[in-house]
Structure 1
Amino acid sequence: MTGTMSYAYAVARDDDDTLAQALSGLPGVADAPVHLVRAGRRGEMVVAVSPVPEPDFQESALRAHLEDLDWLESVARAHHRVIGALAERTTVLPLRLATVYLDDERVRQMLDARQESFAGRLADLTAHTEWGVKIYVEAPAATERPAAPTAAADLSPGRAYLSHRRAQRHAREDAYRDAEEVARRVEDAARHHAVDRVQHRAQQGELARGPGENVINDAYLVPVGHAEGFRADVLRAGEGLTGVRVEVTGPWAPYSFATPPETEPMKRAAP
């Protein structure tokens, strides 16, 4: 018989014993049922877990699976689905994708050992949500800015080609300068609302599915009461400059802030 391992989704407090109900019938990774592992006998701190096939989540197999985008997307969808269900009821500390333990007892031991640090971080994140801010450069192609007909007629094919390339380069340089300006505006706007920021690597390749080049990929921790103001002010910061697009997503569970930041938190500007 194939063995199983325990897949851990998130840490949370279950003060009123309602989280099990929120997870009832919800399929986790590999469509397995999700349950709670508690600290101690009746601890309020819990970890949401589900059994997963051991052959798929052993270290060597997992390393290979993480290169399979279809498999990874399926696991990520289930991972976020469970965390989203928890986040509707309480503050959660999302764990990294594909966090697995040998069994539930190992999960309990981890929770018992780290209860104090988990409790402190949950208190810090209460009534806050994560918002994503991405900035894209959408420089116009040189074909959209052709030389004037009279000028083009006076150029040899070689010089016309160089002129074409120069126009393309200048258009991109202008767009990148505008993106830097938008990034400054966004950061200034965010300071009036957010209490922390995490700067992620810009998305490329398969992860960058939208139009344009992703140049900024930040996450902000925002008090619930500031959410609408944050979104409106950040989007407004991107207005007025062509070739640059600002995308705001959220609210999300605080994925980027589940562990204490290594740097000083962002200081929210006084109103």
Structure 2
Amino acid sequence: MAWYAYCISEKQAFPDLLRHRKPVPLDAVTGISGNQVFLYPASDLAVIVSEHNPDEPLVQKSAVDHAKVIADCFKMSTVLPFRFGTVFSDDEALRRSVRSNQRQFLTNLDRLRGKAEMHLKVVVDDCCREQDKPILMNRVGKEYLTSLRENATQQRERQTRARAVSVQMHRMFAPLDEEVSCKRDGTGKMMLDIAHLIDHKCIERYQNRYSTAAVQLKDCRMQLSGPWPPYHFVHRQSRVPAQHTPSRTAIPA
């Protein structure tokens, strides 16, 4: 039987699991395709899983269900989310993966205990939007080199601006850890995706700082969501072999 994996937690967070060696149903939590969710005991860890038919396709709603299970478990305990689509072919594959990664799992659980992720989307004007020009690929000599230099200069200016905004966010919110990605849309705006790791007990303080920042930073549009499970802070060192593990996008600007 294949197992679809949502996240990992500490066994001690679920007292009912301490008396069992076999998977125990996690009541009131429904998984992908409406399947029953189980706590699967593996040494000192609990793997949150549901039965899975490998021939059944994973659709957009499956991703929503995946995130909901993780969010429900996050209300009960520290969790290490698996990437969407992580499937273990049978019991042995699941146990083998946990055994080979157990030390890293326990280290991450200890590091992330009592912490949550807050997610900021920051939109700022592109400092180069008025002077942006296409590279003149059909030209040669001086015109072509000038075009290359202009575009390189614009790119450096964008990176400098993105870093400056990121540093400003870091100073205002003082997170325990962060991940930042930056991209540019077609309307001449730069969009920063910022994930901040904070103590769960500091959520209200963080939200108050956000309200202050939204007023002070007139040249930025900001959107806040969270608290979330620590999605961006789990997979830096742990790599779990399974049938399918889509990659996470979080590239610093």
| Fold match by TM threshold 0.5 | yes
CA distance in 1, matches of 2:184, 2:87: 26
Question: Equivalences for 1:20-99 in 2 at 5 Å?
Answer: 23-39=26-42, 43-56=43-56, 71-72=59-60, 74-99=61-86
Give the one of 8, 11, 14 matched to 2:8. Answer: 11
Q: Does 1:259 align with 2:235?
A: yes
Deviation for aligned residue 1:25: 3.8
Corresponding residue for residue 130 of structure 2: none
**Range with bigger deviation, 77-86 or 12-21:** 12-21
CA distance in 2, matches of 1:81, 1:229: 25
Which deviations, in whole Å up to 9, do the C-alpha atoms of 1:149-168 show, x marking residues without a partner?
xxxxxxxxxxxxxxxxxxxx
| Contact 2:7-2:47 at 8 Å conserved across structures | yes
Deviation for aligned residue 1:250: 0.7
| Contact 2:8-2:48 at 8 Å conserved across structures | yes
Deviation for aligned residue 1:242: 4.1
Identity %: 25
Corresponding residue for residue 186 of structure 1: 169
SS at match of 2:83: strand
Deviation for aligned residue 1:241: 4.5
Paired positions, count: 200
| Contact 2:162-2:182 at 8 Å conserved across structures | no
Corresponding residue for residue 266 of structure 1: none
TM-score by length of 1: 0.64
One-letter code aligned to 2:8: V
Deviation for aligned residue 1:229: 1.8
One-letter code aligned to 1:199: V
Corresponding residue for residue 133 of structure 1: 120
One-letter code aligned to 1:248: L
| Contact 2:180-2:195 at 8 Å conserved across structures | yes
Question: Equivalences for 1:157-172 in 2 at 5 Å?
Answer: none
Deviation for aligned residue 1:259: 2.7
**Cα distance change, pair 56–239 in 1 and its aligned pair in 2 (3 A):** same
CA RMSD of aligned residues (A): 3.2
Deviation for aligned residue 1:260: 4.0
**Cα distance change, pair 17–243 in 1 and its aligned pair in 2 (3 A):** closer
CA distance in 2, matches of 1:6, 1:204: 39
CA distance in 2, matches of 1:198, 1:115: 25
Deviation for aligned residue 1:179: 7.7
Corresponding residue for residue 194 of structure 2: 218
Deviation for aligned residue 1:88: 1.0
**Range with bigger deviation, 214-223 or 10-19:** 10-19
One-letter code aligned to 1:46: A
| Contact 1:8-1:101 at 8 Å conserved across structures | yes
| Contact 1:131-1:222 at 8 Å conserved across structures | yes
Deviation for aligned residue 1:214: 5.8
Structure ranking higher in helix proportion? 1
**Cα distance change, pair 16–199 in 1 and its aligned pair in 2 (3 A):** closer
Structure 1 residues not aligned, in runs of 5+: 58-64, 66-70, 140-175, 206-210, 263-271
Deviation for aligned residue 1:180: 7.2
Q: Does 1:116 align with 2:90?
A: no
**Cα distance change, pair 121–239 in 1 and its aligned pair in 2 (3 A):** same
CA distance in 1, matches of 2:63, 2:196: 21
Deviation for aligned residue 1:128: 0.7
SS at match of 1:15: helix
One-letter code aligned to 2:222: V
Larger Rg: 1
CA distance in 2, matches of 1:109, 1:203: 42
